[in-house]
Amino acid sequence: MPDIPSHWNLLENRVVWVSITAWFIAQFIKFVINLALTHRPDWRQFVSQGGMPSSHCSLVAGMTTSVGIISGLNSVLFGVCAVLSMIVIYDAAGVRRTVGIQSTILNRMLEELFKGNPLVRQRLKEFIGHSRWEVVAGIGLGVFIGWLGCLGL
C-alpha cells in the first residue's frame, strides 16, 4: 500500500479532531445531565438535538478557535469559519428554537381539534432549538476545547 502524502491524512487534522471532540463532550454532558435528572441512562442523548450545552455551537466554536490559533485571525480560512459559525449559532438559537415553539403550538391545536381520534397520534418534535444559555455554554465549551487542543497539548 503506497504512503499517503501528509496533506491527505485526515487523521492528522487537528481542526477535525478538536471539532469532533468538542461535539462529543457536549453530547456527553447532555447525557450526564439527563442521567442526573432521570436516574436512567438515555443513550439517545448522544445523538439528540437540543439541550445543555449546544453541541452544534460547541463544534463550530471549537473549529473556529482552532483555525484561528493555527491559521491566524486575519486568515481567509478563519473568516470563513467565523461566518459559518455565526450562521450555525443563529440557527441554533433563533430559527430552530422558533420551529420548536411553533411545533408545541401546532401539537396543542391538533390535540384540541382531533380530541379522541385514534388516527391522530403523530406529534411534531417540540424541543428542537436551544436557549441562549445553552448556546453560550456550547460556545464556551467549544472555545475551551479549541484552545486546549491547539495550545494546551
Listed in sequence order, the residues at least 6 apart from 76 whose beta carbon sits closer than 8 Å to its beta carbon are none
Buried/exposed code over 89-100 (b: 16+ C-beta within 10 A; e: otherwise): bebbbeebbebb
Give pLDDT, residue 153: 59
What pTM was computed for the model?
0.73
Residue with cell 471549537: 62
Q: What is the pLDDT of residues 43-99, one digit of tens each?
A: 777 676 677 888 889 999 999 999 999 999 999 999 999 999 999 888 877 766 666
pLDDT bin (cut points 50, 70, 90) of residue 3 is: low
Q: How far is CA 54 from CA 7, 67, 121, 153, in A?
A: 31, 20, 29, 24
Q: Which residue has the higher pLDDT, 11 or 140?
A: 140
What's the pLDDT tens digit per position in 23-48? 999 999 988 888 888 888 877 776 76
Instruction: List, as one string, the DSSP characters of 41-97.
Output: --GGGGT--SSSS-HHHHHHHHHHHHHHHHH-TTSHHHHHHHHHHHHHHHIIIIIHH
d(CA 62, CA 17): 10
Q: Which candidate, 84, 62, 63, 53, places its Cα nearest to that of 144?
A: 62
Dump pLDDT digits (tens) for 98-139.
Answer: 666 776 777 677 777 777 666 666 665 555 566 778 889 999
